[in-house]
Chain A
Amino acid sequence: MKERQIDDQLVIYGRRFSSRLLLGTARYESPSLLDNSIRAADPAMLTVSLRRQVAGSPDSGESFWNLLRETQRTILPNTAGCLSPHEAIKTACMARELFQTNLIKLEVIGDEVSLQPDPFGLVEAANQLVRLGFQVLPYCTEDWILCRRLMDVGCEVLMPWAAPIGTGQGPRNARALRELRERAPNTPLIVDAGIGLPSHACQVMEWGFDGVLLNTAVSRADDPVRMAGAFASAIKAGRSAFVAGPMLVQETAVSSTPEIGRPFARDYSTRSGIRTDSNPSSSIHPLLKSGVTDRVVG
């Protein structure tokens, strides 16, 4: 069992991680809150972006970069906000030069209201970036055909959304997400976007997803550091539950406590209508008279 746990690592393009949480670095109230949240979350990767310099911004530039470097986490640049394959590819190339990594979280947004990925632009951009030597982690929907096309062009990891970015709604389409997990059993799948609560993260990990990428759920919590720790625990719990193998759901109640040897037991088979007493009401258990069942449930 110990060996199984040691081997249970997240593998992204050959890189191995003990943590299955990927943490975004945006929308924290202060650099120290970001720093402490990173420590509490213990993430495998940190997502970052690139922009033209904004004077006086606390979450960009040299100090921001030094903070991230000191955490010694793997950096995952994104192409956030890109609306076309052309824009995303140019941004990815700039990110590679700036961050000195081939990893790229590929976003090609198709709708500026829902921030839903553009499936056509996403496949086109992924195809070109893979040819340019990038290790692409596409932010996508749970659509199986889209996911298959992304794998066909060389994406070794997929990042389907749970819900639109920043909404915190949790998995909107649970059935399709679980079907995706079943259809792509050997592809690392990281649920990205729309997670709001640790229970959402735990849930998708229980379904067998390989990791969770979070940002707003931590950074906009009243206490981001505590929430970062809560997510770390939830993701570990969900993963452990998946590895442990959940019980099968049953259609009817199954007593967990042995029935044999129960003291003071009487025959209450009248509930099935077979009792033949002349005065049934006198021998029925008091709880049954008031409509409460006496099944052993614990």
Chain B
Amino acid sequence: MFVIVNGETRPLPEPQTLTALLISLSPQAPFAVAHNEEVVPRGDYEACRISPGDRIDIVHPTAGG
């Protein structure tokens, strides 16, 4: 199956949890994650199931005015 991570299509071996996806991506901390444009609280990563075509956004702090 495929998912869209930060706008890029990526293959995933099978439906899995957000925790598993984040382990494979290992984004640099700190970060926040949205699943299909809805924020996923840190404590809910394991309960968040990823389905084919889902959109995942991972964001980090950056400079701003």
Establish whether residues A94 and B65, one from each chain, have CB atoms under 8 Å apart when the complex forms: no
Q: Confirm or deny: B1 has a beta carbon within 8 angstroms of a beta carbon on chain A.
A: no
**Chain B 23-35 interface 0/1 with A at a Cβ cutoff of 8 Å (1 = within):** 0000111111110
Q: Confirm or deny: A145 has a beta carbon within 8 angstroms of a beta carbon on chain B.
A: no
Known: A53-B27, A97-B32. A27 touches B61 (CB 8 A): no
Known: A93-B39, A98-B31. A26 touches B65 (CB 8 A): yes
* Count of B interface residues, CB-CB < 8 Å: 24
**Chain A 19-59 interface 0/1 with B at a Cβ cutoff of 8 Å (1 = within):** 00000111110000010000000000001111111100101
Known: A90-B37, A94-B34. A50 touches B62 (CB 8 A): yes
Binds B, one of A60-68, A118-126, A182-190, A225-233: A60-68
The smallest C-beta distance from B18 to any residue of chain A, in angstroms, reads: 13
Instruction: Tell me the bound Cα distance from A77 to B64 in angstroms.
Output: 8
Q: Confirm or deny: A99 has a beta carbon within 8 angstroms of a beta carbon on chain B.
A: yes
User: For B57, what are the chain A residues with a Cβ–Cβ distance below 8 Å?
Assistant: 52, 94
Q: Confirm or deny: A127 has a beta carbon within 8 angstroms of a beta carbon on chain B.
A: no
Establish whether residues A61 and B64, one from each chain, have CB atoms under 8 Å apart when the complex forms: no
User: For A237, what are the chain B residues with a Cβ–Cβ distance below 8 Å?
Assistant: none
Establish whether residues A64 and B64, one from each chain, have CB atoms under 8 Å apart when the complex forms: no
Chain B residues 12-65 with CB under 8 Å of chain A are: 27-34, 37, 39-42, 57-65
Most chain B CB inside 10 Å of its own CB: which residue of A24, A62, A68: A62
Q: Confirm or deny: A80 has a beta carbon within 8 angstroms of a beta carbon on chain B.
A: yes
The smallest C-beta distance from B21 to any residue of chain A, in angstroms, reads: 15
Q: Confirm or deny: A135 has a beta carbon within 8 angstroms of a beta carbon on chain B.
A: no
Main secondary structure of the interface of A (DSSP, over half): mixed
Residue of B nearest to A193 (CB): B65
User: For A57, what are the chain B residues with a Cβ–Cβ distance below 8 Å?
Assistant: 62
The smallest C-beta distance from A124 to any residue of chain B, in angstroms, reads: 17
Known: A52-B57, A90-B34, A93-B39. A61 touches B28 (CB 8 A): yes
Residue of B nearest to A97 (CB): B32
Q: Confirm or deny: B9 has a beta carbon within 8 angstroms of a beta carbon on chain A.
A: no
Instruction: Tell me the bound Cα distance from A226 to B29 in angstroms.
Output: 33
Residue of B nearest to A23 (CB): B65
Residue of B nearest to A215 (CB): B65
User: For B40, what are the chain A residues with a Cβ–Cβ distance below 8 Å?
Assistant: 97
User: For A166, what are the chain B residues with a Cβ–Cβ distance below 8 Å?
Assistant: 65
User: For B37, what are the chain A residues with a Cβ–Cβ distance below 8 Å?
Assistant: 90
Known: A97-B39, A98-B59. A78 touches B34 (CB 8 A): no
User: For A49, what are the chain B residues with a Cβ–Cβ distance below 8 Å?
Assistant: 61-64
Known: A53-B28, A93-B39. A68 touches B61 (CB 8 A): yes
Establish whether residues A50 and B63, one from each chain, have CB atoms under 8 Å apart when the complex forms: no
A-B contact pairs, 10 of them (CB 8 A): A24-B65, A50-B32, A50-B59, A52-B7, A61-B28, A78-B64, A93-B34, A94-B34, A94-B59, A97-B33
What are the nearest 7 A-B pairs in CB distance?
A: A49-B64, A24-B65, A215-B65, A60-B62, A98-B32, A59-B63, A26-B63
